[in-house]
Amino acid sequence: MSVQSIAFSAGYITVTHDSGPPVEYAIADVLRALDIPTGLTYSQVGAITTLANLVVVLIRTLIDRKVLDESFGESDGDLSLDLDHLIHAIEEMGGAYHEPDLTVT
C-alpha cells in the first residue's frame, strides 16, 4: 500500500493510500502549527535559554552598578515593567534569574 497524498487540516493529517478510504490522524492534542515559530529549529532552543541567561547577567550587572533600578519602562510610559515581570519572561524562555547557566548551548 503506497501513499497517494497527504493533506493537512486543523489538528489532523489525512493520508490517502492507493487503496481504501483516507485515514485521519489527530495531532491537535500533541502539536499545532501555531505552536511552532517559523524557522525555529531544535538546535536553537538551547540558544534561546543561553540568550535569556546572558540578559540576566546584563540586567543584574546594570542593577549592581546602579545604572538600572528594578523598574523598567520607556520614557513615554507606554511600556512599564518591573523586575518580577522580567524574571517571569526569562524563566518562560528557560532562563534562571537567580542562577543563570551560561553553559547551555
Measured in whole angstroms, how far is the alpha carbon of residue 65 from the centre of its chain? 30
Q: Grid coordinates in use for 103?
A: 553553559
> Do 27 and 33 meet the contact criterion of CB atoms below 8 Å apart?
no
CA distances from 96 to 18, 54, 88 (A): 52, 10, 9
Distance (Å, whole) CA 25 – CA 14: 6
Residue 67, helix vs strand vs coil: coil
6: β partners: 15
> Among residues of the chain, what percentage have pLDDT more than 70?
76
Tell me which range, 1-5, 35-39, 40-44, 84-88, is most confidently predicted by mean pLDDT.
Answer: 84-88
17: β partners: 3
Q: What pLDDT is recorded for position 27?
A: 76
Q: Where exactly are the structural domains of the chain?
A: 3-35, 42-92
pLDDT, mean over the chain: 79
**pTM, entire model:** 0.54
Map grid coordinates 519602562 to a residue. 73
